[in-house]
C-alpha cells in the first residue's frame, strides 16, 4: 500500500529540506546586518535547535543514545557537517552575498557521488560522470564570475567553494558510520549540539561580542536567531529522516534545491544582483544533477536487479 504521509516520501523530504536549507543563507544575511557576529549567531542557533530536537526526541520515545560510538558519531559529523562548513558559510555571506553562497550548495551532490564511487558505494556510470564534470564546470564559472566582478574578496569567494567538500564528506561519513539501531530523530540533536560545542573554542579566542560588518559592537536583534533555531530544528529533523530512507547520494541533492531556492530569494527579495556567470553556473549544475539522477538502465544494472 502506498504511503500518503510526506514523512515517508523521499521527494517531499528532499524538497522540504532543500527549501529550508536555501532560506538559511538569506536569514544569515539579515542576521549579520542586524548586528549578529556570524559564528556567535551559528552557535546559538545550533544550541537552540539541538535543545528543541532533544525535546521532540524525548516526547517521541527516541531518546538520543550516549554510548561511546554514538558520541564519536556526533562529534565527527558535527565537525564536518555542521561546525566547519557553516562557520565558513556564515562568515562569508556578508562578503560574498547570500545568492552566491546558495548556489555553492548545488555542488555537494556531485562530490558525494564521486566519493560514493571511489568507496564502491555506487558504480561508475557514464551519464553520472558527465554530470560531475558539468557540476565542476559550473563551480569554476561561478568562482571566476564572482572574482572578476570585484565585489567580494577572492579569499572569501574561494573559501565558500570548500564548503561543498565538507558537506559531501559528511554525507558519506554519516551513512558509513550510522550507529546500528539508531533512529534519525535520536541522532539529529546529537549532531547539532556537538556542532555547537565545537564552536566554543573559536569564539572563546575571538571574543563573544556581536559586531556588524563595519566592526561596530551593538545589541543584535533577537528574532533572527529564534527563527534560525526553528529553521535548523525543522531542517535536520527531515535531513536525518531523508538520509535514513534514501541514502547519501539522493540526500545530497537537497543542495541543488537549496541553491535554486536560496539564490531566488536573494535576488527577488533581498535585492542582490544576478549575473551571466551565475546563470550559466546554474544551468550547468541543473543539467549535471539531472544526469546524475537518471536511473541506471545498463544491462549490468538490469541483471543486478
Per DSSP, the residues of 184-225 read HHHHHHHHHHHHHHHHHHHHHHH-S--B-TTS-B-PPPSHHH
Q: CA-based Rg of the chain, rounded to a whole angstrom? A: 19
CA 91 – CA 85 distance, rounded (Å): 10
- What does the mean pLDDT of the chain come to? 83
CA dist 131 → 101, 243, 298 (Å)? 21, 21, 17
- Kindly give, in sequence order, each residue whose CB lies less than 8 Å from that of residue 225, ignoring residues fewer than 6 positions away: 31, 36, 41, 44, 45, 48
pTM > 0.85: yes or no: no
Write the pLDDT tens digit of every residue in 273-286.
777 777 887 788 77
CA 200 – CA 188 distance, rounded (Å): 20
Write the pLDDT tens digit of every residue in 76-115.
999 999 999 999 999 998 888 877 787 788 788 878 888 8
SS3 letters for 102-146?
Answer: HHHHHCHHHHHHHHHHHCCCCCCCHHHHHHHHHHHHHHHHHHHHH
Decide: 46 and 196 in contact? Cβ < 8 Å: yes
Residue 44 reports pLDDT greater than 80: yes
Beta bridge partners of 217: 211
Q: What is the reported pLDDT for 304?
A: 33
Please name which of 41, 83, 29, 71 lies closest in space to residue 196, comparing C-alpha atoms. Answer: 83
CA 127 – CA 221 distance, rounded (Å): 48
Q: Across residues 140-149, what is the average pLDDT?
A: 69
Residue 223 reports pLDDT greater than 60: yes
Q: pLDDT exceeding 70 applies to what percent of the chain?
A: 85
Write the pLDDT tens digit of every residue in 76-85.
999 999 999 9
Residue with cell 544494472: 301
Decide: 251 and 109 in contact? Cβ < 8 Å: no
CA 48 – CA 53 distance, rounded (Å): 9
Residue 254 reports pLDDT greater than 60: yes
SS3 letters for 48-115?
Answer: HHHHHHHHHHHHCCCCCCCCHHHHHHHHHHHHHHHHHHHHHHHHHHHHHCHHHHHHHHHCHHHHHHHH
Q: What are phi and psi of 293, to 5 degrees?
A: -90, -10
Residue 14 reports pLDDT greater than 80: yes
Q: What is the reported pLDDT for 295?
A: 58
Q: What is the reported pLDDT for 151?
A: 67
Residue with cell 564536518: 80
Write the pLDDT tens digit of every residue in 27-39.
998 998 888 989 9
Name the pLDDT band for 300 (thresholds 50, 70, 90).
Answer: very low
Amino acid at each position: 500500500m502506498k504511503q500518503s504521509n510526506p514523512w515517508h516520501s523521499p521527494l517531499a523530504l528532499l524538497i522540504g529540506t532543500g527549501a529550508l536549507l536555501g532560506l538559511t543563507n538569506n536569514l544569515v544575511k539579515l542576521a549579520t546586518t542586524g548586528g549578529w557576529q556570524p559564528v556567535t549567531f551559528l552557535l546559538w542557533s545550533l544550541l537552540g535547535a539541538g535543545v528543541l530536537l532533544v525535546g521532540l526526541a524525548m516526547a517521541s520515545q527516541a531518546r538520543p543514545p550516549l554510548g561511546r560510538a554514538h558520541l564519536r558519531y556526533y562529534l565527527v559529523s558535527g565537525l564536518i557537517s555542521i561546525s566547519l562548513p557553516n562557520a565558513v558559510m556564515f562568515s562569508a555571506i556578508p562578503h560574498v552575498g547570500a545568492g552566491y553562497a546558495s548556489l555553492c550548495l548545488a555542488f555537494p551532490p556531485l562530490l558525494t557521488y564521486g566519493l560514493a564511487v571511489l568507496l564502491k558505494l555506487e558504480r561508475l556510470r557514464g551519464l553520472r560522470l558527465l554530470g560531475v564534470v558539468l557540476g565542476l564546470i559550473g563551480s569554476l564559472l561561478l568562482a571566476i564570475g564572482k572574482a572578476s566582478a570585484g565585489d567580494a574578496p577572492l579569499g572569501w569567494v574561494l573559501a565558500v567553494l570548500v564548503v561543498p567538500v565538507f558537506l559531501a564528506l559528511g554525507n558519506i561519513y554519516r551513512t558509513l558510520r550510522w550507529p546500528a539501531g539508531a533512529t534519525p530523530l535520536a541522532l539529529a540533536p546529537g549532531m547539532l549540539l556537538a556542532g555547537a560545542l565545537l564552536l566554543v573554542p573559536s569564539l572563546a579566542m575571538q571574543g563573544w561580542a556581536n559586531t556588524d560588518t563595519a566592526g561596530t559592537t551593538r545589541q543584535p536583534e533577537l528574532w533572527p536567531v529564534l527563527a534560525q533555531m526553528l529553521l535548523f530544528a525543522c531542517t535536520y529533523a527531515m535531513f536525518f529522516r531523508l538520509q535514513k530512507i534514501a541514502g547519501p547520494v539522493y540526500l545530497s541533492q537537497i543542495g541543488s534545491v537549496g541553491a535554486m531556492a536560496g539564490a531566488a530569494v536573494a535576488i527577488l527579495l533581498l535585492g542582490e544582483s544576478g549575473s551571466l556567470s551565475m546563470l550559466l553556473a546554474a544551468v550547468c549544475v541543473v543539467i549535471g544533477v539531472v544526469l546524475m539522477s537518471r536511473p541506471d538502465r545498463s544491462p549490468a544494472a538490469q541483471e543486478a536487479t
